[in-house]
């Protein structure tokens, strides 16, 4: 498609939750109609309320609604949309979907199916990136069985990590510390891969312990212009899922940023990338970068980059996909200050992050200077058990990291959510942790400090607890304890 740029009229947002809400906003700004799909349990969800139109997709399990290509496509067509934006998760990195969308004459707001196929298959991606000069971790592909993994483990030394070839988000990743764990971990990884991504293929890499997760945001138009927007650091993770993200990383010098950024830009030019994406790296103790993967979609943590670059990434994606040219050069990208994002998930950090769903009985979102909140929730809403546990993202920005942390502490204190357990108390502990404040972090940070970080008291508002009791006595007309 090399036609002259023509703005979209109506975009179908094939997602839910905070990212769907987030994506509706630039539509509004650009005068584009926003249409969303919803599953049965999401009928009253916030994205349905915010959108201009909403279409029922199907039953609650994602496989029958948000993940069903035919259903989503029909909804987009029937509502007369001219483009589809997938957000993250669900069909976002599914090239078959991208292809199907284009075949129907709609624009898929994302890279081409061809690029997604290369970068989405971890094995193909490794090859392509290595060819462009991107450093890759030692690893083996096309794993046939445990013997091969054991041999690899002996060669590069444990720990090693087994990952699903398709998908991302850390699901099913299995860390292996010794040969006798290989068989069981392999089986789990394959099983989760099959369940989450429909393919059981896995690959194995050397696991870099104590490394830092650093990723580069880039954006490209279809005319071969690529710029990067600097890096984000996402080393604070639990079960390989990011919890706290920040930009920039306290690890990188401006020179290092330019050097790695140039590698990223070159590789993406080589592969013919279009729209926004992220290249993730693991940085070992000696400061060496190893590429993890390229995420061919918007990321949850894109917000922190926006807050220091002044650049609305999703809005830009919409415009690039409509055929506009990237209006800036690398020199014009100016990053200012420091931003932090905390993920508020419906889960209980005290119980190994077990999901916690239920009804949000009270909600007070954050506001005030230099904070931003992105969420898909409202008071009275019941969190469905079928999807991701991310409820809200809180971002803060300041002239430097310390200021951003201070503002984040303030924001976390203001945020109140009752009815479900969330990561908020853990996030507060992280913001107070001296090592975190000093920037002394790595991907094992939470695991290493979990005891101290979860040593908080659940403080449900006292008045709400007492009210619960008053409700019980009033409803029953008597106090069952006092008799």
Partner 1 sequence: MKASVRKKDPKKILKGIRDGKEICFTQTGPRDTGQSDFKNRFTLFDLRKLIPLYDGTGYFSLEVHGGARFHQDMINNMVDPFEEARIWSEGAPKSLTQTLIRSTNLWGYRMYPHNVIKLAVRSFLPTVDVWRCFDFLNYIPNMASIAEEVMSGGKIFEPSISFTESPECSDAYYLRVTDEIVDLCGGTDQIILCIKDMAGVATPSRIARLVDAILQRYPGLVIQYHRHATDGLAIPAMAAAAQAGVKLFDVTDDGFSRFYGHPPVLPLARYLKDLGFPVRLDTALAEKASEVVHGFIRHYERFESQFKGFSSDVVRHRMPGGAFPSSFEQAEKGGFLELMPHILKGMAYGNRIIKYFDVTPGSQITWTTWASIVQRLNKDGGEQAIRKLFAILERYFESGERLEALTQADENVLLRLYSGATDDLKNLLLGKYGPLPFGWPKDWVYKSAFGEDWEDRVVAERLNESPLSRLADEDLGRAREAMELDLGRPATDDEFVLYTQHPKAAIDLLRFRATYGDTTILPTPVWLNGLRAPGDAIELELAGRPHIIKLVSIGEGVGGVKHVVLSVDNIMHVFPVDLPESLASKKVVRKATPSNRGEVGTQVTGNVWRIGTKDRALKPGDHVRKGEEIMNIEVMKTENAVKAPFAGILKEIAVTMNDRVEEGQLLAVIGVETE
Catalytic residues: 297
Taking CB under 8 A as the binding criterion, the range among 73-81, 137-145, 151-159, 384-392 that sits at the site for partner 1 is 384-392
Of 305, 341, 389, 443, the one binding partner 1 by CB under 8 A:
389
121, 251 Cβ separation under 8 angstroms:
no
For residue 475, state whether it binds partner 1 (rule: CB under 8 A): yes
For residue 385, state whether it binds partner 1 (rule: CB under 8 A): yes
For residue 451, state whether it binds partner 1 (rule: CB under 8 A): no
Of 354, 432, 448, 452, the one binding partner 1 by CB under 8 A:
354
Closest CB 385 distance from partner 1, rounded Å: 6
For residue 413, state whether it binds partner 1 (rule: CB under 8 A): no
**Cα dihedral 115, 116, 117, 122 in deg (nearest 10):** 110
As to burial, measured by CB atoms within 10 angstroms (0-12 exposed, 13-18 middle, 19+ buried), residue 270 is: middle
For residue 482, state whether it binds partner 1 (rule: CB under 8 A): yes
Of 29, 80, 191, 287, the one binding partner 1 by CB under 8 A:
191
Closest CB 164 distance from partner 1, rounded Å: 13
Of 53, 259, 361, 394, the one binding partner 1 by CB under 8 A:
361
For residue 367, state whether it binds partner 1 (rule: CB under 8 A): no
For residue 28, state whether it binds partner 1 (rule: CB under 8 A): no
For residue 31, state whether it binds partner 1 (rule: CB under 8 A): no
For residue 481, state whether it binds partner 1 (rule: CB under 8 A): yes
- Work out the angle between the directed axes of helices 17-30 and 313-321 (0-180°, nearest 10): 60
The conformation of residue 303, written as its DSSP 8-state character, comes to H
190, 203 Cβ separation under 8 angstroms:
no
Q: Residue 162: what are its φ and ψ, rounded to 5°? A: -100, 130
CA atoms within 13 A on the CB side of 192: 18
CA distance 119 to 291: 12
Question: Per-residue x/- mask for partner 1, residues 281 to 300, rule CB under 8 A?
Answer: --------------------
Taking CB under 8 A as the binding criterion, the range among 41-49, 79-87, 383-391, 395-403 that sits at the site for partner 1 is 383-391
Site for partner 1 in 60-89 (CB under 8 A): 62
Question: In terms of Cα–Cα distance, which of 135, 140, 129, 130 is closest to 163?
Answer: 140
Using CB under 8 A as the binding criterion, the count of chain residues that bind partner 1 stands at: 45
Closest CB 320 distance from partner 1, rounded Å: 31
For residue 469, state whether it binds partner 1 (rule: CB under 8 A): yes
For residue 355, state whether it binds partner 1 (rule: CB under 8 A): yes
Of 55, 125, 192, 234, the one binding partner 1 by CB under 8 A:
192
Tokens in use for 375? 């969420």
Measuring CA to CA, how many Å separate 408 from each of 205, 327, 395, 428?
35, 32, 7, 9
For residue 195, state whether it binds partner 1 (rule: CB under 8 A): yes
Closest CB 143 distance from partner 1, rounded Å: 17
How many other CB atoms are found less than 10 A from the CB of residue 483? 5
Alpha helices (H) along 172-223? 182-197
Of 31, 144, 253, 480, the one binding partner 1 by CB under 8 A:
480
CA distance 292 to 279: 8
First to last CA, the chain: 76
β partners of residue 398: 338
How many other CB atoms are found less than 10 A from the CB of residue 406? 15
Closer to partner 1 at the Cβ: 23 or 241?
Answer: 241
DSSP string covering 116-171, please?
HHHHHSHHHHHHHHHHTT--B--EE-S---HHHHHHHHHHH-S-EEEEESS--TTT
Taking CB under 8 A as the binding criterion, the range among 20-28, 273-281, 332-340, 470-478 that sits at the site for partner 1 is 470-478
3-state secondary structure of 71: helix
Question: Per-residue x/- mask for partner 1, residues 159 to 188, rule CB under 8 A?
Answer: ------------x---------------xx
CA distance 34 to 30: 11
Question: In terms of Cα–Cα distance, which of 383, 395, 392, 394 is closest to 355?
Answer: 383
Taking CB under 8 A as the binding criterion, the range among 11-19, 97-105, 156-164, 379-387 that sits at the site for partner 1 is 379-387
CA distance 373 to 78: 32
Taking CB under 8 A as the binding criterion, the range among 9-17, 152-160, 190-198, 287-295 that sits at the site for partner 1 is 190-198
For residue 477, state whether it binds partner 1 (rule: CB under 8 A): yes
Query: Which residues lie near partner 1 (CB under 8 A)?
Result: 62, 171, 187-188, 191-192, 195-196, 239, 351-352, 354-355, 357, 361-362, 379, 385-389, 460, 462-483
């Amino acid at each position: 498609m090399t036609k002259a740029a023509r703005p979209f009229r109506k975009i179908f947002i094939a997602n839910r939750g905070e990212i769907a809400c987030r994506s509706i906003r630039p539509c509004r700004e650009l005068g584009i109609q926003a249409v969303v799909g919803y599953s049965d349990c999401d009928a009253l969800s916030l994205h349905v309320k915010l959108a201009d139109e909403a279409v029922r997709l199907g039953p609650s399990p994602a496989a029958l609604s948000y993940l069903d290509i035919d259903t989503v496509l029909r909804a987009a067509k029937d509502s007369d949309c001219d483009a589809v934006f997938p957000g993250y998760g669900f069909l976002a990195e599914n090239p078959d979907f991208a292809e199907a969308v284009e075949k129907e004459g709609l624009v898929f707001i994302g890279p081409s199916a061809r690029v997604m196929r290369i970068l989405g298959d971890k094995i193909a991606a490794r090859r392509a990136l290595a060819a462009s000069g991107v450093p890759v971790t030692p690893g083996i592909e096309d794993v046939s069985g445990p013997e091969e993994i054991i041999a690899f483990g002996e060669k590069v030394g444990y720990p090693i990590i087994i990952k699903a070839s398709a998908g991302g988000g850390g699901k099913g990743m299995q860390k292996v510390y010794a040969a006798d764990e290989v068989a069981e971990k392999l089986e789990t990884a394959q099983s989760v891969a099959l369940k989450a991504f429909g393919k059981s293929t896995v690959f194995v890499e050397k696991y870099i312990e104590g490394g830092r997760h650093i990723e580069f945001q880039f954006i490209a138009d279809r005319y071969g212009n690529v710029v990067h927007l600097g890096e984000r650091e996402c080393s604070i993770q639990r079960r390989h899922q990011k919890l706290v993200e920040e930009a920039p990383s306290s690890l990188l010098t401006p020179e290092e940023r330019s050097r790695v950024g140039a590698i990223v830009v070159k590789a993406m030019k080589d592969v013919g990338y279009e729209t926004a994406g992220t290249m993730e790296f693991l940085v070992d103790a000696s400061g060496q970068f190893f590429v993890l993967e390229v995420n061919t979609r918007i990321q949850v943590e894109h917000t922190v980059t926006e807050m220091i670059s002044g650049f609305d990434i999703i809005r830009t994606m919409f415009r690039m996909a409509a055929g506009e040219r990237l209006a800036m050069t690398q020199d014009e990208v100016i990053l200012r200050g420091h931003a932090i994002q905390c993920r508020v998930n419906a889960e209980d950090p005290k119980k190994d992050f077990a999901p916690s769903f239920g009804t949000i009985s009270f909600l007070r979102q954050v506001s005030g200077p230099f904070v931003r909140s992105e969420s898909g929730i409202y008071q009275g809403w019941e969190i469905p058990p079928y999807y991701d546990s991310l409820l809200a993202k809180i971002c803060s920005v300041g002239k430097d990291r310390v200021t951003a942390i201070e503002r984040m502490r303030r924001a976390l204190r203001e945020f109140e959510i009752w009815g479900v357990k969330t990561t908020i108390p853990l996030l507060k502990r992280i913001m107070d942790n001296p090592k975190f404040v000093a920037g002394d972090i790595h991907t094992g940070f939470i695991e290493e400090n979990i005891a101290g970080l979860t040593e908080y008291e659940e403080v449900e508002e006292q008045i709400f607890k007492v009210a619960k009791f008053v409700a019980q006595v009033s409803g029953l007309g008597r106090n069952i304890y006092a008799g």
